[in-house]
A and B are shown apart, each in its own frame.
Chain A
């Protein structure tokens, strides 16, 4: 079994990382945005309590 002439296991070991890194990038973007939203919410709540 091969993909593009490279044995399947060897192909996957090397090239599976391209979609994996993309997923990591999108996930970290999501996490950064979530972190910021939650922090902004906490700040807003704190201000509300202070008033």
Chain B
């Protein structure tokens, strides 16, 4: 039975998002506009889009479920998440913005090849990114369908078609700018929705202290930082992984890192750090606390992932519950759209254009990018409807796989001039494969070390050791990076004049390929 009191406002909200796509499309002139919003995004939008992109539907479903099952231990993830955007902006923001403009990099994978000049870096990087990003997009579409079905009563297939259809449409039409604007808007909707339901839940249980007292009365270990029944007592490797996965992990996610590339200038990172922490104060801890509130309010909850939707329907009138549903969907959509545009960008820029035998013009690449976004979007809808086996398993590896593959090459690419392409390749493969093996074989149980933490250690060791054992990068590779780094904070005009035009770069690539061909034929 469709609950139109909830579904109605929600559908209107979704249609409103389409408006962002249409407006954004009016600002679209070239590929740089489609992939990076013309590098014109300001501090507030950067802070909000970075955070809403980084936090997926997990914040409304997985996070509260973990708190429902494990109690206070789940908040270790919030501890890291609170500082994740700040660390990302502080460590990578200004440097990556400046360097990628000088190098003309339009995607995070392209930046890696410019910094570590070897085709294998782009091939391996693109492969890892496309597989995991696509899996992530599919999972978010499935989550969108399930959420709409559970709360509004619409059939699952309609839920997927409505939720995913809107995302694909505005991303296809408006590109990165539409994604950034809708993300910023949705971040605000998420915070409002989350705090409405939190206040309602706390009032219902008779206050914060009363809530925690009632939880302790059920099982006092719910309030232990070591997990329910003190499952992780003394396991600092597990705690460190839980904190680090979000505190530093975002620096490895291509769809989060691209936010640095799109800032209007390097100075934007300064403001964005403060906006980001301000926003997190009103959002990051709340979902986990709500999960704990559900221990008291919904003790017989069959599916803990539905804690927040169930609480909202129990505590709020229909229209307000519709806003909470919109907030839940905002979390899903703001991540899915960013992954969609990122996967489309990597496919078009890092695969089609990079390995094409001819120069592809700017307007043709714009078309390619849109087609890739549409292609992945349609594939995502089909996968979400069919739900083939293996998709859920792939998603389990996605966040850790992306984070551990790209984090170290990204950070050391800015700060360590000695890092070279074999090291970057080793770091990517070592980090991602360790994370996958650790998760698949459940090595956390044996070693008491979180898969993300293990992947990060192996990635760092592999990157540094291989770089030191092989030749240092050429001076002409490092010189522009050093010069870009030096120009951070310079008055305008000091910075090297650069362009996002594709033609010069395409020519440079073809020259490079021609030289290689000549060398090989000799």
Chain A interface residue count, Cβ-Cβ cutoff 8 angstroms: 24
- Is B277 on the interface with A (CB-CB < 8 A)? yes
1/0 contact trace for A15-49 toward B, CB 8 Å? Answer: 10110011011101100110110011001000000
- Is A1 on the interface with B (CB-CB < 8 A)? no
| Chain B interface, DSSP helix/strand/loop, else mixed | helix
- Is B491 on the interface with A (CB-CB < 8 A)? yes
A4 to B72, CA, bound (A): 13
Q: Decide if A21 touches B225 in the complex (CB within 8 Å).
A: no
On chain A, the residues within 8 Å of B280 by CB distance are 21
State the Cβ distance, B36 to closest chain A Cβ, in Å. Answer: 22
Interface footprint category on B: 35 or more
- Is B428 on the interface with A (CB-CB < 8 A)? no
On chain A, the residues within 8 Å of B225 by CB distance are 10, 13-14
On chain B, the residues within 8 Å of A15 by CB distance are 285
Q: Decide if A24 touches B270 in the complex (CB within 8 Å).
A: no
Q: Decide if B213 touches A5 in the complex (CB within 8 Å).
A: yes
CB < 8 Å: which of B82, B211, B223, B489 contacts A21? B82
Q: Decide if A25 touches B79 in the complex (CB within 8 Å).
A: no
1/0 contact trace for B488-522 toward A, CB 8 Å? Answer: 11110010000000000000000000000000000
State the Cβ distance, B164 to closest chain A Cβ, in Å. Answer: 34
- Is B216 on the interface with A (CB-CB < 8 A)? yes
On chain A, the residues within 8 Å of B274 by CB distance are 25-26, 29
Q: Decide if B86 touches A24 in the complex (CB within 8 Å).
A: yes
- Is B167 on the interface with A (CB-CB < 8 A)? no
On chain A, the residues within 8 Å of B241 by CB distance are none
List CB contacts (< 8 Å) of B315-351 with chain A.
none
A22 to B277, CA, bound (A): 7
Q: Decide if A5 touches B86 in the complex (CB within 8 Å).
A: no
Q: Decide if B223 touches A7 in the complex (CB within 8 Å).
A: yes
On chain B, the residues within 8 Å of A40 by CB distance are 489-491
Q: Which A-chain residue is minimally distant from B223 (CB atoms)?
A: A6
On chain A, the residues within 8 Å of B94 by CB distance are 32
On chain B, the residues within 8 Å of A26 by CB distance are 274
On chain B, the residues within 8 Å of A13 by CB distance are 225
Q: Decide if A4 touches B277 in the complex (CB within 8 Å).
A: no
Q: Decide if B490 touches A21 in the complex (CB within 8 Å).
A: no
A6 with B212, Cβ < 8 A, contacts A13-B225, A24-B83 known: yes
A21 to B273, CA, bound (A): 11
Q: Decide if B212 touches A43 in the complex (CB within 8 Å).
A: no
- Is B209 on the interface with A (CB-CB < 8 A)? yes
On chain A, the residues within 8 Å of B79 by CB distance are 14, 17
On chain A, the residues within 8 Å of B224 by CB distance are 7, 10
State the Cβ distance, A1 to closest chain B Cβ, in Å. Answer: 13
State the Cβ distance, B429 to closest chain A Cβ, in Å. Answer: 32
A36 to B489, CA, bound (A): 5
Q: Decide if A5 touches B75 in the complex (CB within 8 Å).
A: no
Q: Decide if B208 touches A5 in the complex (CB within 8 Å).
A: yes
A13 to B76, CA, bound (A): 9
A3 to B161, CA, bound (A): 47
A33 with B212, Cβ < 8 A, contacts A7-B223, A10-B223, A13-B225 known: no
CB < 8 Å: which of B72, B86, B213, B488 contacts A25? B86
A9 to B210, CA, bound (A): 19
Q: Decide if A43 touches B277 in the complex (CB within 8 Å).
A: no
- Is B281 on the interface with A (CB-CB < 8 A)? yes
- Is B90 on the interface with A (CB-CB < 8 A)? yes
List CB contacts (< 8 Å) of B187-221 with chain A.
208-213, 215-216
State the Cβ distance, B471 to closest chain A Cβ, in Å. Answer: 32
Residue of B223, B277, B281 with highest tally of chain A CB at under 10 A: B277
Q: Which 5 A-B pairs have the closest CB atoms?
A: A5-B212, A36-B489, A25-B277, A5-B209, A21-B83
14 A-B pairs, CB-CB below 8 angstroms? Answer: A5-B210, A5-B211, A7-B223, A10-B223, A10-B224, A13-B225, A14-B78, A22-B281, A24-B83, A25-B274, A25-B276, A25-B277, A26-B274, A28-B90
- Listed in ascending order, the chain B residues whose CB lies under 8 Å from chain A are 72, 75-76, 78-79, 82-83, 86, 90, 94, 208-213, 215-216, 223-225, 269-270, 273-274, 276-277, 280-281, 285, 488-491, 494
- Listed in ascending order, the chain A residues whose CB lies under 8 Å from chain B are 4-7, 10, 13-15, 17-18, 21-22, 24-26, 28-29, 32-33, 35-36, 39-40, 43
